[in-house]
Amino acid sequence: MTRSPETSHVMSASDMDRALTRIAHEIVESHRGVEGLLLLGVPRRGTILARRLGERLARIDPAFDPAQSIGSLDITLYRDDLRAHGARTPEPTTIPGAGVDGATVVLVDDVLYSGRTVRAALDALQALGRPAVVRLAVLVDRGHRELPIRSDHVGKNLPTSREERVSVLLDEIDGVPRGEEAVVIRRARGADSQAGER
């Protein structure tokens, strides 16, 4: 019998805010400004985090225009687990008018796990054009990589077991008030739960 999952909070709303602010500063420093910078969030939570990063970038450097520099990159058709998990409803892909050619593209996602989501995002991006540079920003890196992929900007490195599931709870998706947003680890006691691909 599967018991209720054990849940532990590993990042609070303020922890998440600080992590995003730090990542925004790292992006500006590594890019030496914001010119030619494009944030593409991986739906769904990555898109929300990309918007929040964009707000911080605009505060750091007013030359960054979120309306022209933030988009969303759907990876549904590029995933390698469609046979195992069945059809998924695609999310919109929105690319700012200037496109991706020659841009420094920062892919944004919530949790980095096996690396397969990022591989799919790279394939989806390649179909849209040829960026000058592609970087990766994630709120949480939980390890267990299956592909040679690493993040350039990380909010928190979080050692986990494969039996644990890391969830990022956001207001826009989960209905959690902004002040109560969190990153949590769930593990079902007495159950052989396997964390899903992130």
In tens, the pLDDT along 81-101 reads: 766 665 668 888 999 988 999
What's the total number of domains in the chain?
A: 1
Residue 124 lies in a domain: yes
Q: How high is the pLDDT of residue 190?
A: 55
Residue 32 lies in a domain: yes
- Contacts of 186-192 with C-beta under 8 Å, sequence gap 24+, read 186/5, 186/6, 186/7, 187/5, 187/6, 187/161, 187/163, 188/2, 188/3, 188/4, 188/5, 188/6, 188/163, 189/3, 189/4, 189/5, 189/6, 190/1, 190/2, 190/3, 191/2, 191/3, 192/163
CATH number of 79's domain: 3.40.50.2020
In tens, the pLDDT along 134-184 reads: 999 999 999 999 999 999 999 999 999 999 999 999 999 999 999 999 999
Residue 57 lies in a domain: yes
Residue 67 lies in a domain: yes
The listed range with the strongest mean pLDDT (2-11, 54-63, 83-92) is: 54-63
Q: How high is the pLDDT of residue 192?
A: 44
Mean pLDDT of the chain: 91
Say whether pLDDT at 3 is over 50: no
Quick one: pLDDT band at residue 197, thresholds 50, 70, 90?
Answer: very low
131 against 194, higher pLDDT: 131
In tens, the pLDDT along 30-41 reads: 999 999 999 999
pTM of the model: 0.90
Structural domain that includes position 139: 13-161
Residue 73 lies in a domain: yes
Residue 180 lies in a domain: no
In tens, the pLDDT along 99-131 reads: 999 999 999 999 999 999 999 999 999 999 999
Residue 93 lies in a domain: yes
Q: How high is the pLDDT of residue 194?
A: 40
Residue 197 lies in a domain: no
